[in-house]
Amino acid sequence: MSRNSAHRRALRRNLAQSLIEHETISTTIQKAKEVKPFVERLITLAKKGKLQHRRRAISLLGNRRIMAIEDGEPVQKGTVIGKLFSDLGPRYLERPGGYSRIVRLSLRRLGDNGQLVLLQLLGKDEPVKKQRKTASKKRSRRRAKASAQAAKPSEAPAAAPGPAAEAPQKPAGEAPAEPGKEAK
């Protein structure tokens, strides 16, 4: 992103804090793709909810205050970490992942004509996207089905009673035992 590591880390932190505070932000596609996995990791920490996870989130994100203007005076409404652990963590408790989405906009930024997107946190009631069946999963299902059919005895017509039916069958690799000698 044409930034040194400290600038990139600060940008990622600021975008993540704004996303947690407002739950939707407008940014460029490159920045959104950079911050999305970071925010999802933070929400996963918030789902666990222990003190060690809260401290880890503070070290990764910082603990910026959420301010609002009421009657011309700034009023503190809480902190980013407080909202993350008290609101967002419990909201996504039943969700296995995929807490955010990127929605492309038709607008372009005026200065450099960059593609603009909305980075949003999903609502509680939005359904989990169904996973596609990959080729490896299909292959493993076919193998499991084939092994289940092989394990199931096939119904063959019963053999006629006689000496051939009563003789125990030897594995293919063993030589027949000589008459009068027992196999060891």
Element (H, E) at 68: strand 65-70
pTM over 0.75: no
Contact 118, 103 (CB under 8 A): yes
Provide the pLDDT for residue 60. 95
Total residues found in the chain within this entry: 184
CATH topology of domain 5-121: 50s Ribosomal Protein L17; Chain: A, (3.90.1030)
Element (H, E) at 136: helix 135-151
Percent of the chain with pLDDT over 90: 60
Q: Which amino acid is at 77?
A: K
Provide the pLDDT for residue 167. 55
pLDDT tens across 91-150, in order? 999 999 999 999 999 989 899 999 999 999 998 777 777 666 666 777 777 777 777 777
Neighbours of 85 (CB within 10 A): 22
Report domain extents, the chain: 5-121
